[in-house]
Amino acid sequence: MKNTFMFFIMYLFSFTTNAQWVWQNPLPQGNPLYGVKFISSTVGWAVGDFGTILRTTNGGTTWTLQSSGTTNVLLGVSFTDANNGTIVGDFGTTLRTTNGGTTWTSQSSGTTNALYGVTFTDANTGTAVGYNGIILRTTNGGTTWTSQSSGTTNILLGVSFTDANTGTAVGDGGTILRTTNGGITWTSQSSGTTSRLFGVCFTDANNGTAVGHGGTILRTTNGGINWISQLSGTTYELYGVSFTDANNGTAVGFVTILRTTNGGALWTSQPGPANWLMSVFFTDANNGTAVGGGDFGSTSIILRTTNGGTTWTEQSMAITSRWLLDVSFADANIGIAVGNDGAIVRTTDGGITWTSQSSGTTNGLAGVSFTDANNGTAVGGIGTILRTTNGGITWISQSSGTTNALFGVCFTDASNGTVVGGNYGSTSIILRTTNGGTTWTEQSSGTTSYLLAVFFTDANNGTAVGGGHFGSTSIILRTTNGGTMWTEQSSGTTRALLNVYFTDANNGTIVTDFGTILRTTNGGTTWTEQSIGTTAFLYDISFTDTNNGTIVGYQGTILRTTNGGTTWTLQSSGTRNSLHGVFFTDANNGIAVGQGGTILRTTNGGVTFIKEENEITIPKEFILSQNYPNPFNPSSKINYSVPKQSNVKIIIFDLLGREITTLVNEEKPKGNYTLQFKADGLSSGIYFYQMKTDEFIQTKKMILLR
């Protein structure tokens, strides 16, 4: 069940934070992208939300996620060759690599203002621009950044240099600034507009183009002495522009791709998807890449052309970009997620791959429940109830007898199920079936507050929760006779109650808006509020036993407990997309779904390893050291050495040889490394860790004591 109405809208130490939630949809990932840069037709980088860095070495056929060490929004990227690059972003974030992004090192920019654009003319000399008119300059690859006087407090959003001295910055209010001495002085130029300018590109000291609000395109052929307005043919925002010479250029923006072959005298619209395109880069007149985000900026888009934009091919792949609102698994392999506009996606391999299915409806689907590999039910808007008896291959509409929105569904076996819903604070409805939905019978709820979720532990014992519009009231209903009678319980809060889960007839958890969790150990006779350190809306919850549970919510919130909810630990989801559904088949294997078609998967309960350090001293042989401390709780360090660049894989196994998690699986430069492994979600016992390369393999034992 999901409530569809509440959608708001230094080389010595290189640190990485790798969340063990992995993108399954979209691919290669689903965070919106804001910047792109290629140094050849094949090698390039894209950056975006939640510290996302992607790299390709084959023109975008495949993209690899790189570890940035930050969750800040990354907005601009510049590379001068295959090794040397700089990324800037929110809160003054500045990241530097000298090895193509294998490692990224945080630099001190000297500001907490957002940095929106960056450009380097060689490995050492670069300029970044940002909020409040800030301009930063480095001549040593970012070891030090020096603030320059821009003469404005307007936000600067784009910057372009053609050599170490000559550059232009653009921004709010039609601001255009020009320097010919490396930024020692910046001179304001007359743009002839007050529109916000998002992007600028110069191909030489004289020829440049700026784009911005309402389809604004400005062109200069004399270094900005004069800027001439060009006819774009659109009133949509234009965010990025790229020219390869004085004539050939492309501008992108909101559902817009424009192309010129005559310096902008004529701009022609090119076909593209209905997405926000935030940045574009061409390496020559033919080869270009555009990046951005989907509806409400919640998904990722990568487009590629090899013919100057005559055709654009989408490189990011998504089985759906619809918001997914609930997910249910019949067993370890077969699972179904449902969402807006009748979206249904199905997996038969535990969530590794998903396929889209036909639901036969365009009504939003808010809840889904499976009891075995064949039998499942989905519910949604306007009284929609769909039933499958073949694992979701086909869905049959059932008559609900109501036009009320249906939000929650729970079946305890193939025959017995309950559906709840209502109409936004004015109506409550509970439907019950004992024959797999052939007939549905309305039950008396005793309330007019709509119900958002329902959970049964067996055919008789169930709880339904909900509330008034936007948290004005809350409602908990309890039955011990299959819904023949529902009794109201006191929640102790006026928060809207968004979902509920019981591990047995007594132990249950409710999640609400603004980060509230309610917990009962006596079947709801009393509910106790728990503090979890977040104010995010919490949309769904899944337990696999009395101790292990996961909650998901607004802006990628994931919370994990291994002690039945006594304490909750915030996990990194890797996204700011809201997560509306979660389901675990055991303590380790789980799927979370949400905004923009987001599907995330974990095989270790969301455990993360926190830090990896690379020391300068060069080892002479492969070494895997004993972890320390050992035994440990809750974390331990693992040292290993690589005498030459190698593909290194380090895996954790349990006592039965089952893979728990992969800590490292990437090309490593020669060096000595330290991993700090955090064993959240794992129970006491003996575990093994193995290091494997093309020339070396070794396994050691570790002991976790809780």
Name the CATH superfamily, with its identifier, for domain 611-704. Answer: Macroglobulin (MG2) domain (2.60.40.1930)
Q: What is the pLDDT of residue 610?
A: 42
Q: Which residues in the chain come in under a pLDDT of 70?
A: 1-19, 294-298, 424-426, 468-472, 608-618
Q: What is the pLDDT of residue 4?
A: 29
Residue of 299, 286, 241, 250 whose CA lies nearest to 270: 250
Half-sphere exposure of 693 (CA within 13 A, CB side): 20
**Chain position carrying tokens 């000297």:** 110
Alpha-carbon dihedral 455, 457, 459, 460, rounded to 10 degrees: -90
What is the CATH code of the structural domain delimited by 35-314? 2.130.10.10
Q: Could you tell me how far CA 20 lies from the centroid of its own chain?
A: 13
Q: Are 547 and 563 in contact (CB under 8 A)?
A: yes
Q: Are 317 and 303 in contact (CB under 8 A)?
A: no
Which residues are paired to 290 by β-bridges?
Answer: 280, 303
Which residues are paired to 612 by β-bridges?
Answer: 675
> What radius of gyration do the chain's Cα atoms show?
28
Q: Are 145 and 124 in contact (CB under 8 A)?
A: no
Q: Could you tell me how far CA 269 lies from the centroid of its own chain?
A: 30
**Chain position carrying tokens 């080869």:** 287
Q: Can you give the residue ranges of every domain in the chain?
A: 35-314, 611-704
Residue of 595, 602, 552 whose CA lies nearest to 31: 595
Q: Residue 492 to residues 179, 470, 473, 516: CA-CA distances in angstroms? A: 63, 17, 11, 11
Q: Are 431 and 414 in contact (CB under 8 A)?
A: no
Q: What is the pLDDT of residues 80-111, one digit of tens each?
A: 999 999 999 999 999 999 999 999 999 999 99
Q: Are 399 and 440 in contact (CB under 8 A)?
A: yes
DSSP state, residue 555 = G
Q: What is the pLDDT of residue 493?
A: 84
> Helix, strand, coil: what percent of the chain each, to 5?
5, 45, 50
Q: What is the pLDDT of residue 55?
A: 96
**Chain position carrying tokens 């320097």:** 179
d(C-alpha 265, C-alpha 213), whole Å: 19
Q: Are 169 and 126 in contact (CB under 8 A)?
A: no
- Residue 235 burial by Cβ neighbours in a 10 Å radius (0-12, 13-18, 19+): exposed
Residue of 289, 291, 334 whose CA lies nearest to 308: 289
**Collapsing DSSP states into helix, strand and coil, what is residue 471?**
helix
d(C-alpha 163, C-alpha 357), whole Å: 54
**Identity of the amino acid at 161:** F
d(C-alpha 571, C-alpha 561), whole Å: 10
Mean pLDDT over each residue of the chain, to the nearest integer: 90
Q: What is the pLDDT of residue 471?
A: 47
**Collapsing DSSP states into helix, strand and coil, what is residue 9?**
coil
Q: What is the pLDDT of residues 219-244, one digit of tens each?
A: 999 999 999 999 999 999 999 999 99
Residue of 213, 218, 248 whose CA lies nearest to 230: 218
Reduced 3-state DSSP string for 583-629? EECCCCCEEEEEHHHCEEEECCCCCCEEEEEEECCCCCCCEECCCEC
d(C-alpha 498, C-alpha 516), whole Å: 10
Strands, DSSP E only, in 340-491?
344-347, 355-357, 365-370, 376-380, 385-388, 396-398, 405-411, 417-422, 428-433, 441-443, 451-456, 462-467, 474-479, 487-489
d(C-alpha 397, C-alpha 393), whole Å: 14
Token pair of 305 as six digits: 């052309």
d(C-alpha 213, C-alpha 197), whole Å: 6
Token pair of 178 as six digits: 């020009």
Backbone angles phi, psi at 243, to 5 degrees: -115, 145
pTM score: 0.81
**Collapsing DSSP states into helix, strand and coil, what is residue 399?**
coil
